[in-house]
Amino acid sequence: MPKDAIRDLFDSVTPDASIVLKTEREIRNMIERKNEKRRIPLKAAAIALAACLILTGTALALNASGILERLFPNGNISKQAKDSVVTNAARATENGITLNLDEYLIDQNTMHLGWTVSSERERDVFYTTAYELIYTNPADEVLAENSIGGRYGSTSSIDVGNDMMVHLSKASPVYSGFTDYGYNGSLTSPIQAKVIVQAYETDYEIAEIVQVMDLYEPGSEIVKNLEKEKKVAIDALHRSTIGGYSAFLEARDKRLKEGMDIDEASEIALVESGVFRKVAVLEVNVTIQPGQTPVSRYSLSEPMVFDLPGKTVVLKTLTIDSASTIIEYDVITGADANSILKDGLHYILFDQNGNPLTADYYIGMEGGEKEPLSDGRRVWNILHSGNPIPEDVTQITFVPKGTLERMEMESSNNYFIRIKAATEPESCFTVFIGEE
């Protein structure tokens, strides 16, 4: 099975209807671009679900609870996490546009940044967001790429390489978002995380559209008419793109043929298309020093083996930090190589009281098939990154996602509870992480 085909078995969890997530098209674009040279890489994983928050009216900077409410959507915020939040860490302003790093939180494996872009300009503003994690010592980067933390990441904005823009106006002058980085806490030298915003104006008329993804179809009637009529469309979430405009594609393709990476080519094409002109470039950053990351709250001391119907799960890593949970396990098939297809590879986590621990935010899954065992059994290595585990949790039960479909408008908690109720206990396994 090809490495990417493993994604078909994950059957990613569908969010509550009230939560804004990346669409399947956006995620697919991320995956398709994973092998392209990127100037500003987010060293994030293959599949990361992320939510965004649009604020209207006057500037409403996220307070310290912004990151914490996102990381602990069901409450029970840990004291360590509360104490670790740094607020109002950095600010950049140019031509009436401000990028403010409202807060950040770091733990042994991850960094979480909450930021706000606001505009005081008379004209509407469109902006792109990009991210960068800079390593002083290349050895630290190699270590991160070969560890689970280095594959952890998500963001509330599609980066510039996916041609997505956010629209700000007098009616809606503020956008608050987040970005997250994974790394390995055993740093030998400082690392620096950046958020980069490039802002543009246009003389094109602003139009409204139901779904911004419709704008990615070159040659479609919607795109052709918008470009012909010199209009830029936005959706209800204030997102926009000219990714399907012929002038943009021609300008970008020209730069790509010159050897330019896709991010820089896209930035230049926004202007060379004749649609936008750049009015500001803003950057904020955070530096992490060696020894600055706090010690993990819980870390598995040695692998655990669980013999389950039709398969064996080898839990290799379970690290619970103040702001994240990082899990790695191998799934080994039984005599029937297709035995895992019923339960799949994705596990939902529950606490000792049967409450779901897996939330809509921060579900990240990545994996690939390894070399088969000598007896022919197949092996998959799975990396799972998610929300931090509350401090009052003493045990974690892993329940296979299975094939149960989610009902329309069903909440995540109800869906996960139905999965647990429909699953045979012998298909689950439990890890004790604290005292009762």
pLDDT at 150 (0 to 100): 53
Q: Are 385 and 324 in contact (CB under 8 A)?
A: yes
* pLDDT at position 197 over 70: yes
More confident residue, 220 or 279: 279
pTM: 0.74
pLDDT at 435 (0 to 100): 61
pLDDT at 424 (0 to 100): 92
* pLDDT at position 103 over 90: yes
Q: What is the pLDDT of residues 375-395, one digit of tens each?
A: 888 888 888 777 888 888 999
pLDDT at 54 (0 to 100): 28
Whose tokens are 């041609």? That residue is 163
Q: What is the pLDDT of residues 59-71, one digit of tens each?
A: 223 333 488 888 8
Q: What is the pLDDT of residues 45-91, one digit of tens each?
A: 222 222 222 222 222 233 334 888 888 877 778 888 899 899 999 99
Residue 2: partners with Cβ closer than 8 Å, 6 or more residues away: none
Whose tokens are 């409410």? That residue is 69
**What are the residue ranges spanned by the domains of the chain?**
20-288, 298-432
* pLDDT at position 18 over 50: no
pLDDT at 386 (0 to 100): 77
pLDDT at 339 (0 to 100): 61
Q: What is the pLDDT of residues 291-335, one digit of tens each?
A: 888 888 888 999 999 999 888 999 998 988 888 888 889 999 876
Least confident of 147-156, 200-209, 337-346, 371-380: 147-156
pLDDT at 289 (0 to 100): 92
pLDDT at 337 (0 to 100): 63
Domain 298-432 -> CATH class: mainly beta
pLDDT at 2 (0 to 100): 34
Amino acid at 3: K
Q: What is the pLDDT of residues 209-244, one digit of tens each?
A: 877 777 777 778 999 999 999 999 998 888 898 989
* pLDDT at position 367 over 80: no
Distance CA(271)–CA(258), nearest Å, equals 17
Amino acid at 299: S
Q: What is the pLDDT of residues 24-40, one digit of tens each?
A: 333 333 333 333 333 33
pLDDT at 99 (0 to 100): 97
Amino acid at 218: P
Residue 353: partners with Cβ closer than 8 Å, 6 or more residues away: none
Query: Chain-wide mean pLDDT for the chain?
Result: 78
Name the percent of the chain lying above pLDDT 90. 40
